[in-house]
Amino acid sequence: MEKQDARQGWLAAMQDRSILVPLAWDLGLLLLFVGQHSLMATDTVKAWMSRYFGVLQRSLYVACTALALQLVMRYWEPVPRGPVLWEARAEPWATWVPLLCFVLHVISWLLIFSILLVFDYAELMGLKQVYYHVLGLGEPLALKSPRALRLFSHLRHPVCVELLMVLWVVPTLGTDRLLLALLLTLYLGMAHGLDQQDLRYLRAQLQRKLHLLSRPQEGEAE
């Protein structure tokens, strides 16, 4: 009976203009972000930007991505009257589920920041390109190994799993949050194709950088 009531609630919501209008607005914001993030990453657009902006191409891409993300966050329309896919309402779930979600979110964000040990965020942000250009060292990507280039071609985002945890592990999954989670999950998964060779490379890079961090600094041994 509850399943039937829930199904009727979702069907009624799909005919409610007060729900559909903000959902359509939110969908437009997400498509703006996804479109910008994908279009500016194509070889054609990158070649055009490199022709006119030179070494600032990557920095401009990151700035436009940040702007698109800010638009999504600032103008997102919540749908409080919409149905929910799940909600922790009864005790003890109403207490323990939000706490568990909080802990998992903290762990996910710590893992996201720990990816700095493997990926060169200065290069991802476009700062290293400018630094190398000023010193006449060329393009940093040209100095990467074939294994690193292969990994980058298979990876939509370096913290895909952690972002999915943040998107889905919530005590209440309402209509607008479901739209956000579904679309970004689809987007992250479309070009996320790591294989065993990529995972071995990632593990080797992590072990190498952990070894560098664990080495005693000069003068410490004394």
Query: Domain of 3?
Result: 1-78
Amino acid identity of residue 185, one-letter, is T
For residue 62, being part of any structural domain is answered with yes
For residue 221, being part of any structural domain is answered with no
Show Cβ contacts of residue 98 under 8 Å, excluding neighbours closer than 6 positions: 88, 171
15 lies in the same domain as 123: no
For residue 133, being part of any structural domain is answered with yes
Answer with the one of 78, 104, 135 that is the final residue of a domain. 78
Give 162-213 pLDDT, tens digit per residue: 788 899 999 999 999 999 999 998 888 775 555 556 556 566 666 666 666 5
Instruction: Determine contact, residues 9/83, Cβ cutoff 8 Å.
Output: yes
107 lies in the same domain as 197: yes
55 lies in the same domain as 96: no
Tokens of residue 86, six digits: 């799940």
97 lies in the same domain as 206: yes
Among residues 112, 141, 117, 115, the alpha carbon closest in space to that of 128 is found at 141
198 lies in the same domain as 112: yes
Answer with the one of 47, 78, 109 that is the final residue of a domain. 78
Give 83-122 pLDDT, tens digit per residue: 888 888 888 888 999 999 999 999 988 877 776 666 667 7
